A = this chain, B = another copy of it.
Amino acid sequence: MSHQILHVNEPTPVPPFEERGNIPDIRKAGLDPDFWYPLARSKDVAMGKARAVTFAGDPIALVRSKEAGLFAVEDRCAHRQVPLSVGVVEDGGIKCGYHGWKFDCTGSCTSVPYLDKCTLHPNSIKAYPCKERYGLIFVFPGDPAKADSVPFPETPAAEDSRYKVRTLDRRINCHWSFMHENLMDMNHQFLHRKLMGKIQTRFLGKREGDNWVEVDYSFYRKGGKQSLGEKVMIQRSGGAKEIKEADAKAEAEAQGIKTRDIMTIRTEYPYQRLRFWTAGSKDPALDLWNLYFPVDREQRINQTYGLMCIQRPAKVGFLLDVFWPAVVWFTNGIFSEDKWICELEQAAFDAQGEDWNHEIFPAIQSVRRVITSNSVPIRASWKGSKSAPEHVRARAEA
Residues of A that sit less than 8 Å from B by CB: 1-4, 6, 57, 59, 76, 78-83, 86, 95, 97-100, 112-115, 121, 123, 185, 187-188, 190-191, 201, 203, 297, 341, 344-345, 348-349, 351-354, 356-362, 381-383, 388-389, 392
CA distance A349 to B382 in the complex (A): 10
Residues of B within 8 A of A81 (CB): 345, 348-349, 352, 356-357
Select which of B3, B98, B354, B382 is within 8 A of A352 by beta carbon. B382
Is B99 a contact of A362 with CB atoms below 8 Å?
Answer: no
Given contacts A82-B344, A353-B381, 20 further A-B contacts (CB under 8 A): A1-B203, A79-B359, A81-B356, A81-B357, A82-B348, A97-B341, A98-B188, A98-B191, A99-B187, A99-B188, A99-B190, A100-B187, A112-B360, A114-B187, A114-B201, A114-B361, A115-B360, A121-B358, A352-B383, A353-B383
CA distance A315 to B70 in the complex (A): 58
Nearest residue (CB) in B for A387 is B352
Is B190 a contact of A100 with CB atoms below 8 Å?
Answer: yes
Is B356 a contact of A82 with CB atoms below 8 Å?
Answer: no
Please name the 10 residue pairs, one residue from A and one from B, whose CB atoms are nearest each other, closest first: A81-B348, A100-B190, A82-B344, A1-B203, A114-B187, A352-B382, A99-B187, A353-B383, A353-B381, A123-B358
Residues of B within 8 A of A389 (CB): 356, 358
CA distance A100 to B192 in the complex (A): 11
Could you tell me the dominant secondary structure of chain A's interface residues?
loop
CA distance A96 to B3 in the complex (A): 59
CB distance from A22 to the nearest CB of B (A): 17
Residues of B within 8 A of A86 (CB): 344
Nearest residue (CB) in B for A114 is B187
Is A357 a contact of B80 with CB atoms below 8 Å?
Answer: yes
Scoring A3, A360, A392 by chain B CB atoms within 10 A of each residue's CB, the highest score goes to: A360
Is A191 a contact of B97 with CB atoms below 8 Å?
Answer: yes
Residues of B within 8 A of A203 (CB): 1, 114
CB distance from A222 to the nearest CB of B (A): 10
Residues of B within 8 A of A123 (CB): 358
CA distance A70 to B185 in the complex (A): 32
